[in-house]
Structure 1
Amino acid sequence: MRSTVIRIAAIAALATLIVMVPSVVLAFDETTSTLPPSMDEANCGGCHDPWPGSVFDDPKAGVHGGYTITTSKCGECHSVHQAPASSVMLLPGATTKATCMTCHDGTAGGGVYGAIAARGRSVGSSHSVEAINVVPGGDENSGGSLPVAFGGPGGTLTCTSCHSPHGADVVNAYAGERQRSATWGIIGVTTSSKLLKRSPGNSTTPTAEYGSDWCLGCHKGRSSGLSAAHNHPADSKATTATPFTYTNVAKLNGDALTGVTVLGTLAGSNRGYLMPWPRTAQQTGHAPICQQCHEDSRMVGSLSADGTQGDAAPYTITTPDGWTDGDNPRFQNFPHETQNYRMLVEATSTAYYDDLCLNCHPVVSLP
C-alpha cells in the first residue's frame, strides 16, 4: 500500500512538472503586487503565458490588449460599481501611477523601479514618474529644457505619457533586454512593443519604430537636424530618409577584436556601442542612435589603438533584477532608471569621462 501511495505521489509530481511551464511577466513584482486576488508567478500565465498552444500565448499584451467577446480582461483593472472613491476611470488607484503599481510595484526590487536601490546601489538618473514636468532638451527652438503638461497630477510625467495601457497605437514590436522571472530566473528574449506609444509625451508626430525618433517625441531640442541648436549627430528622420533604429543598427559581428560590422538589433550584446574608425560600409552615412549612448549601465569594451577594430565586452545576464554583480548589463531597466549619469552607458553616477567618447572617436581620428 505504501509503495502504491509513493508511486501515485511521484506520478502526480511529474504531472505537475509537465504543466508548470514558466510564464513571463515583464516589469511585474510578484511579491508586492496588491491587485486581488493574490497572484503568484505560477498562475500569472493566465495573462502572460508565452508558450505556443496556450490559451493566452501573447506575453506582450496580458490585460493590456487583445480584447474580444470571449475575454475577461477589463474587470482586472476597472471596477464598474465599487471602485475606490478616490479613483479615476473606475481604476483601483487615485492616479495613473498608483493604478499601474497595483501590479508593477517594484518596491521589493523586482520591477523596473526599485531594483537598483534594493541591491544597495545608487540611481544615477531616471524618468521620475509623477514628480516632474520639465523635459531636458524639450525646446526645439533653443535646445533647452521645456515645461510640458503631461497627464499626471499637476501636469507631471506619468506612466501613460510613454505607455499605452490598452495597447493602442503602439510602436512595432522589437526585442528588448529585460528577461526576468522571479520563479524561473532568466528566460528567453521576448519581442514586443513594450506598450510604447507611437506619439509619446506631447509629440504630434507618430513614429512606428523605437529609436532616436521615439526619444525626440519629447526631447525635441536634442535633434541634430535643428538650426537653432547644435547637438551631437543622431540618426533620425531629420537627418536621413532611412535612419537606424533599435532593431536595425550597424554593430560588430562578434565580441572578439574585429573591424567587421553587420546590421541587426542593439539588444542582446554590447557590440553596437563601439564604432571603428574609419567607419565601415554599414556605418557610412549614419550617425549613432540615441540608445547607442543612452542605455542601461554597462561596460561596452574598447576600440583598438588604431581605432580600426572593436573589442566588445561580453554580454552576460545570469540572474534577474540585478542580483549578480558581475552581469553586464547588471540591470535592464532603461529608460526608467539607471545607475549612470544622464542614463549614459558608461559613466559614474555623477559624471562621464572620455572613456565614453573613445568608444566611437579614437585618438588617432582626432584632428
Structure 2
Amino acid sequence: MLRRLPAALMVTAFVFFLFGAASTAFAFNDAGWTGGVTCSSCHHPGGMAIANYGPHGAYSTATRACKTCHTLHDAPGGLKLLPGDTVKATCEVCHDGTGGGGVYGAIAARGLTVGGKHGIETTSVVPGGSASDGGSATMAFGGANSTLTCSDCHSPHGSDCVDPFLGERQRDGVAIGLFDVSTSNRLLKRHPGGATTETVQYGSDWCLSCHQGRASGLSAVHNHPAESALTTANPAYYQAAAILGTAPYPTATTVIGSMGVNTKNAGYNRAYLWPWPRTGAQAGRLPICQQCHEDTRNVGSLTADGTQGVPSETTITAQSVGGPSGNGINPTDNPRFQNFPHETQGFRLLVEADTTYFADDLCMNCHPVVALP
C-alpha cells in the first residue's frame, strides 16, 4: 500500500497542474469581463436620453455594447453570432414581455386579448399592400422565409433612422418612479420593409411604405382621407400633427403639435378629436394614420354640437414598492398599454375599438351627428 502512495501523489500533482493552471495554460484572462450589462446600460435613470440607446447605437472605441448581442465563439445559432436562431428570437431575449413590460406579450401577461398586431415571423402578406387594387400584397421581408421581422422596421444599430419625435410611452421603476416622456427615433428605419423611398418623419408616409394601398390620392383605390406626400407637399406627421389646443376644455382651438405631448404624470389625448367645422390648424387638413391607429384608449368626445373637443386625460400609474411591475399594471390607465404599432387591444390597431370590432364612437370623434348630411 505504501509503495502505491508515490504514484498516487504523482497523479494528484499532474491533475493539479493540468486543471489548476488552466487559466494561464489553456485559457485567456477574462477577469475584466463583467458578465453582462447593468440596467443603466439600456435604461437611463431619467428617461431615454438621445445618446443612450443601450446596445443599439452611439458606438465608440470606449463603449462595450457589441457583446450585449453578439458573441465571438460558440454562438447558439447561425445568425450573425446572435443569441437567437432568428431576429425575433434575438430581440425577445430582452423584449419578450415576460415581466409584462415588453413590446410583445404585455397584454397577454395581464390576462387580456390582443385585438390587433403586426405579426412577427408569421407572414409576408401586407394588408392593403397593393397600390393598384387596395388588396393584400406579398413582400420579401428580412425574417425567416421572407416573413416580417423586427429589423424590417427597426434598425438594431441605430443607423438610417427617422428624425426623433416626442412620444407618449412611459416606463417606471420602483426606485425611480415614472420615467420622463422621451424624444427618440424609436430606432425606426427611414426605409422600412426595404422601401426605396426614404421617409424622414414618422407619420402616414412611414406606414405607407408597406401599406401602399391605404393611401389617399390613388387613382384606382378609394380610402378614408389621410394626409401624406400624395395629398400635399408638406404633410403632417407625428411630431407635427393637427391637434387640439391646450386646456381649458372644451375648446375649438387647434394647433400644430406633437401627438405625444403630455406631462410626466398626466396629460390629455389631444390628437384624436376634430371639431366641426374645422378650425385653425385642422382647417383644410387631413388626419394622419396614427390619429385613428394607436394604442387603445378612451380619447374623449366632441361637444353635442360638434364645435369643440373635450379630450380625455392621459394617465400612467407608477408601480408601488413591492407591487407588480410592467406595462398595463393599472386597468384605469389611459392608454393602459403603450405598445403600438406592435400590438394593441383594439381591433385592427384602432385607437377606440373592442378586440373584434369598432363602433360609431370612433367615427364620431371627427364626424359629429349634427354635421352629417
Q: 3-state SS of the aligned residue for 1:46? A: helix
> How far 1:82 moved relative to its partner?
2.6
* TM-score normalised by the chain length of structure 2: 0.83
Q: 2:178 aligns with which of 179, 186, 200?
A: 186
Contact 1:254 1:312 in 2 (8 A): no
What residue in structure 2 maps to residue 291 of structure 1? Answer: 290
What residue in structure 1 maps to residue 161 of structure 2? Answer: 170
Alpha-carbon separation, structure 1, partners of 2:88 and 2:149: 6
Name the amino acid aligned to 2:166. Answer: A
After TM superposition, the structure 1 = structure 2 runs for residues 303-342 of structure 1, keeping only pairs within 5 Å, are: 303-319=302-318, 320-342=326-348
After TM superposition, the structure 1 = structure 2 runs for residues 128-147 of structure 1, keeping only pairs within 5 Å, are: 128-147=119-138
> How far 1:48 moved relative to its partner?
3.5
- Deviation string 1:135-194 (CA, Å, 9 cap, x unpaired) is 000001111111111111111110001000000100000111211134434211111100
Name the amino acid aligned to 2:66. Answer: C
Instruction: Give the number of the structure whose alpha-carbon radius of gyration is greater.
Output: 2
What residue in structure 1 maps to residue 40 of structure 2? Answer: 45
Question: Are 1:69 and 2:61 counterparts?
Answer: yes
Which stretch of structure 1 is more off in the superposition, 57-66 or 248-257? 57-66
Name the amino acid aligned to 1:219. Answer: H
Contact 2:46 2:180 in 1 (8 A): no
Q: 1:349 aligns with which of 355, 360, 363?
A: 355
Q: 2:97 aligns with which of 99, 106, 112?
A: 106
What residue in structure 2 maps to residue 261 of structure 1? Answer: 254
Name the amino acid aligned to 2:364. Answer: L
Alpha-carbon separation, structure 2, partners of 1:227 and 1:178: 37
Contact 2:269 2:312 in 1 (8 A): yes
Q: 3-state SS of the aligned residue for 1:102? A: coil
After TM superposition, the structure 1 = structure 2 runs for residues 109-124 of structure 1, keeping only pairs within 5 Å, are: 109-124=100-115
User: CA 1:47 to 1:312, structure 2 compared with 1: closer, same or farther past 3 Å?
Assistant: closer
Alpha-carbon separation, structure 1, partners of 2:329 and 2:49: 28
Alpha-carbon separation, structure 2, partners of 1:300 and 1:350: 19
Alpha-carbon separation, structure 1, partners of 2:169 and 2:49: 19
Name the amino acid aligned to 2:41. Answer: G
- Deviation string 1:240-270 (CA, Å, 9 cap, x unpaired) is 0111110111211235211111221111331
Alpha-carbon separation, structure 2, partners of 1:213 and 1:247: 13
Alpha-carbon separation, structure 2, partners of 1:327 and 1:231: 32
What residue in structure 1 maps to residue 242 of structure 2? Answer: 250
Task: Give the percent of matched residue pairs that are identical in Structure 1 and Structure 2.
Answer: 57
Alpha-carbon separation, structure 2, partners of 1:244 and 1:306: 27
Alpha-carbon separation, structure 1, partners of 2:110 and 2:134: 36
* TM-score normalised by the chain length of structure 1: 0.85
Q: 1:360 aligns with which of 357, 366, 373?
A: 366
User: CA 1:142 to 1:314, structure 2 compared with 1: closer, same or farther past 3 Å?
Assistant: same
User: Number of paired residues?
Assistant: 325
Which stretch of structure 1 is more off in the superposition, 131-140 or 99-108? 99-108
Aligned-residue RMSD, C-alpha: 1.8
User: CA 1:60 to 1:221, structure 2 compared with 1: closer, same or farther past 3 Å?
Assistant: farther
Name the amino acid aligned to 1:46. Answer: S
> How far 1:315 moved relative to its partner?
1.1
Which stretch of structure 1 is more off in the superposition, 141-150 or 177-186? 177-186
Name the amino acid aligned to 1:110. Answer: G
> How far 1:47 moved relative to its partner?
4.0
Contact 1:49 1:58 in 2 (8 A): no
Q: 3-state SS of the aligned residue for 1:76? A: helix
> How far 1:285 moved relative to its partner?
2.1
Alpha-carbon separation, structure 2, partners of 1:341 and 1:196: 23
What residue in structure 1 maps to residue 22 of structure 2? Answer: none
Contact 1:299 1:328 in 2 (8 A): yes
Contact 1:135 1:218 in 2 (8 A): yes
Alpha-carbon separation, structure 1, partners of 2:50 and 2:212: 34
Alpha-carbon separation, structure 2, partners of 1:204 and 1:341: 30
What residue in structure 2 maps to residue 32 of structure 1? Answer: none
Name the amino acid aligned to 1:283. Answer: Q
Contact 1:49 1:59 in 2 (8 A): no
Q: 2:191 aligns with which of 199, 213, 217?
A: 199
Q: 2:222 aligns with which of 230, 252, 272?
A: 230
Q: 3-state SS of the aligned residue for 1:123? A: coil
Which stretch of structure 1 is more off in the superposition, 177-186 or 338-347? 177-186
